[in-house]
């Protein structure tokens, strides 16, 4: 695999981005949910309309090779309810890579590109949430300076779930 290009997502990317998001999210979490809960999450948080709106309120970087989207990272304001965000804080909202390409450094490349983007590079603190059992993701975040800072709850369909909250505190470095 050659090194994919990482660039800012554009409106023309929305259909492919939605398909990538649905596929990677289902691969990661679909087995643990009922079909109705999975369908609700895909329809609300991974649809074309979701990404069309998200392009106006967040920054999304995509990894692309030969016209195919292979992964994406989305960031902007802190959206974790349990976090008392201060001015200058930002949130890393999503990082997903095609399942068959995981473990090859693409997620790290996307995350590093996001952290170099002015929105996150100038942030005092960067928060994210991640499933505690996603050990590969937790290790990746820790390797780039994030530390565990608490937990958050959220719903998927009718189920209440819990994630770790991780923090990159640039002022505390």
DSSP string, 39-74: HHHHHHHSSHHHHHHHHHHSEEEEEEETTEEEEEEE
The position carrying tokens 């473990």 is: 103
- 127 labelled catalytic: no
pLDDT of residue 89: 97
- 80 vs 125: CA distance, rounded Å: 13
Q: Which two tokens stand for residue 7?
A: 């660039």
* Torsion angle in degrees (nearest 10) through CA of 136, 78, 125, 56: 100
Q: Which two tokens stand for residue 121?
A: 């590079």
Q: Are 11 and 27 in contact (CB under 8 A)?
A: no
Annotated domain spans of the chain = 5-169
Q: Are 97 and 71 in contact (CB under 8 A)?
A: yes
pLDDT in tens, the chain (173 residues): 568 999 999 999 999 999 999 998 778 775 666 677 667 677 778 899 999 999 999 999 999 999 999 999 999 999 999 999 999 999 999 999 998 998 899 999 999 999 999 999 999 999 999 988 788 899 999 999 999 999 988 766 666 677 899 999 987 65
- 145 vs 164: CA distance, rounded Å: 15
Fold of 5-169: Aminopeptidase (3.40.630)
pLDDT of residue 32: 64
Q: Are 84 and 101 in contact (CB under 8 A)?
A: no
pLDDT of residue 43: 74
Catalytic residue among 72, 96, 127, 141: 141
Burial label, 27 (beta-carbon count in 10 A; 0-12, 13-18, 19+): middle
Measured N-to-C along each axis, helices 135-143 and 106-116 cross at an angle, to the nearest 10 degrees, of 40
The pTM of this model reads 0.90
CB atoms within 10 A of CB 96: 22
């Amino acid at each position: 695999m050659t090194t994919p290009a990482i660039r800012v997502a554009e409106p023309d990317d929305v259909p492919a981005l939605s398909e990538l998001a649905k596929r990677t999210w289902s691969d990661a979490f679909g087995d643990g949910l009922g079909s109705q809960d999975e369908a609700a999450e895909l329809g609300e948080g991974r649809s074309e309309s979701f990404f069309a709106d998200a392009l106006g309120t967040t920054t999304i970087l995509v990894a692309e090779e030969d016209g195919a989207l292979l992964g994406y990272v989305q960031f902007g304001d802190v959206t974790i309810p349990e976090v008392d965000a201060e001015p200058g804080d930002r949130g890393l909202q999503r990082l997903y890579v095609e399942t068959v390409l995981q473990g090859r450094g693409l997620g790290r490349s996307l995350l590093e590109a996001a952290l170099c983007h002015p929105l996150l590079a100038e942030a005092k603190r960067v928060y994210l949430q991640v499933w505690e059992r996603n050990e590969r993701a937790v290790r990746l975040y820790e390797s780039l300076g994030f530390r565990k800072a608490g937990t958050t709850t959220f719903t998927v369909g009718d189920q209440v779930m819990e994630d770790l909250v991780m923090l990159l505190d640039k002022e505390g470095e």
